[in-house]
């Protein structure tokens, strides 16, 4: 996945932000940010249409931005934590820190590139403590190598360097693309709708799960 810098323009438009923009005939359109891409955001209009709108073509009407820590400050934190564990000879040299636009995960350890990368949208929703924990989570992966996943070896190292060693984060940071419903009222969300999900059956009532794009009925 392509990375972005700490001055990424989309950081001002976290998913859930309310915006207005204009179509080609200058009609004003109200919408909500669904997902961030490198040069534009995916916006669901109040009428249910999905638009791809450049960041410079939107005006924010209602937003939230993480008040605790900015992307440049997160970048500094990440670099400092990597350097700390390199200096202690726990981590090999040459590692770097970056950001990406992953819609569901929090962070990733790219072994080949020697990079720890965090999702921008995750950083805009998570608090400082959660972000630090995620960086340490990925550093633990870097220390033990790609053969361990979330096994006992990884967990021991993660706890040793100050991580909670939980496998998954609990921050929903991008509006799901798909919403599934069944007859008994249960709901499921997905970023990508696989064939297995399309054919899914509710384990409670046995009905087929009906999927719709979020914002489009």
Listed by start position, the domains of the chain span 17-62, 71-160, 178-213
Through-space distance between the first and last CA atoms of the chain, rounded to whole angstroms:
30
Q: Is 192 or 215 the better-scoring residue by pLDDT?
A: 192
pLDDT reported for residue 177: 67
What is the average pLDDT value for the chain, to the nearest integer? 89
Name the CATH architecture for the domain at 71-160: 2-Layer Sandwich (3.30)
**Whole-number pLDDT of residue 169:** 58
Alpha-carbon distance of 87 to 101, in angstroms, equals 30
What mean pLDDT do residues 183-192 have? 77
With a cut of 70, say whether residue 85 has pLDDT above it: yes
- Lookup: tokens for 6: 């700490």
Confidence of residue 175 (pLDDT cuts 50, 70, 90): low
pLDDT band at 73 (very low <50, low <70, confident <90, very high): very high
Q: How many CA atoms lie within 13 A of 77 on its CB side?
A: 21
Pairing of strands 18-22, 28-36: antiparallel
Pairing of strands 96-100, 115-119: parallel
Question: How sure is the predictor about 123, in pLDDT bands with cuts at 50, 70 and 90?
Answer: very high
Residue bearing the bigger pLDDT, 188 or 181:
181
Which range scores top for mean pLDDT: 57-66, 113-122, 200-209? 113-122
**What is the pLDDT averaged over residues 120-134?**
93
pLDDT of residue 200: 87
> Which region among 63-67, 73-77, 141-145 has the lowest average model confidence (pLDDT)?
63-67
CATH of 17-62, picked from 3.20.20.70, 3.40.50.300, 2.40.160.50, 2.30.30.140, is 2.30.30.140
Strand 3-4 versus strand 18-22 pairing type: unpaired
Q: What is the pLDDT of residue 171?
A: 61
């Amino acid at each position: 996945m392509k990375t972005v810098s700490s001055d990424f323009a989309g950081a001002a438009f976290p998913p859930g932000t309310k915006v207005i923009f204009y179509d080609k005939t200058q009609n004003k359109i109200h919408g909500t940010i669904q997902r961030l891409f490198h040069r534009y955001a995916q916006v669901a209009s109040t009428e249910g249409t999905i638009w791809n709108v450049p960041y410079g073509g939107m005006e924010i009407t209602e937003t939230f931005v993480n008040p605790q820590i900015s992307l440049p400050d997160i970048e500094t934190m990440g670099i400092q934590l990597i350097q700390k564990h390199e200096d202690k000879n726990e981590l090999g040299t040459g590692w770097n820190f970056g950001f990406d636009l992953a819609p569901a995960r929090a962070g990733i350890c790219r072994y080949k590139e020697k990079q720890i990368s965090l999702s921008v949208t995750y950083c805009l929703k998570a608090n400082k403590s959660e972000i630090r924990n995620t960086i340490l989570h990925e550093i633990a992966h870097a220390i033990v190598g790609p053969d361990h996943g979330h096994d006992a070896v990884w967990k021991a190292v993660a706890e040793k360097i100050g991580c909670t060693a939980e496998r998954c984060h609990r921050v929903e940071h991008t509006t799901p693309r798909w919403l599934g419903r069944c007859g008994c009222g249960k709901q499921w969300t997905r970023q990508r709708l696989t064939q297995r999900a399309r054919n899914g059956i509710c384990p409670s009532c046995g009905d087929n799960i009906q999927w719709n794009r979020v914002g489009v009925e």
